[in-house]
Amino acid sequence: MTTSTTAVLAGRPVARVGYGAMQLPGRDRDAAIAVLRRAVEAGVNHIDTAHFYGPGEANALIREALHPYPDGLVLVSKVGAEHAPETEIGLALAQRPEQLRAGVEANLAQLGVEQIPVVNLRRTDAPPGVVAEGDQLVDLDDQLAELSALREEGKIGAIGLSAVSPDKLEQALPVGVACVQNAHSVLDRRAEPVLEICREHGIPWVPFFPLGSAFPAGSAFPGTSKVTDHPVVVGIAAALGATPAQVGLAWELAHYDNTLLIPGTADPAHLDANIASGEVRLSAEAQSELDALAG
């Protein structure tokens, strides 16, 4: 099965295999900067980050490695959470409109830009993640109004959604949705109803945990089956001369033409392998076998 190597995000053409910066904080600084530069040199022009990764460290690394940013590079960030080292996962929700605005301002300052091309709102409508309660139970319309104001002010270019349910995605459509990020893999299809709405409206789909979550089962981000351990995936990879990870990523790309991947790594070899997943072509038979793994 053939797939295009590019798609359009917020009106800008991007390579369908991008890069996620979440794993960079805490790594060797020189190595992290080298990986970011290598990614862009290899054609990556979609980098996903957040001000609460580190906190601020991922954005600082991106700025040091790539500023002034090359033409065509689309930086995508996220709001709706904040750094909270006292919690199990180091994050707490920040869903109130004023917290969303503060998050955008933090991203702008850390990245050294006047506008972020896309900002994703991290909701709590769909698993996995922390469950909202108290003053963090915020109406979506109130959040979208704040983000729309920020867009009108020119501080963000477009609005995306993350961890969103089908009904909330439908609710947000009139505002304009640039992309949707939900947990999804060949073994975890719980987000398919959301993906179907994206298909209907041509919205880019950015699956996170496309190879399964590395978090333990009892955490706020419960683990899912590891795609790379599944015997069908392993067998197809062996037949193709690819890695199981590349097969899992290639399946996502073939599953929907507007899928954009943001695998993250601090390892140059893994980076190269991830980018090469965009060249892996699945036969109709392999595609059928993988489609049958829905869980």
List domains and CATH numbers for the chain. 6-291 (3.20.20.100)
Asked if 19 and 38 touch (Cβ cutoff 8 Å), the reply is no
Asked if 201 and 217 touch (Cβ cutoff 8 Å), the reply is no
Asked if 224 and 187 touch (Cβ cutoff 8 Å), the reply is yes
Distance CA 263, CA 111 (A): 20
Residuewise pLDDT in 10s, the chain (295 residues): 445 799 999 999 999 999 999 999 999 999 999 999 999 999 999 999 999 999 999 999 999 999 999 999 999 999 999 988 887 777 899 999 999 999 999 999 999 999 999 999 999 998 777 889 999 999 999 999 999 999 999 999 999 999 999 999 999 999 999 999 999 999 999 999 999 999 999 999 999 999 986 554 444 444 467 999 999 999 999 999 999 999 999 999 999 999 999 999 999 999 999 999 999 999 999 999 999 998 5
Note the helical H segments in 8-56: 29-41
Name beta bridge partners: 119. Answer: 77, 159
- 53 catalytically annotated: yes
N-term to C-term CA, the chain? 22
Residues 6+ apart with CB under 8 A from 239: 286
Between 231-240 and 244-255, two packed helices, what is the crossing angle to 10 degrees? 100
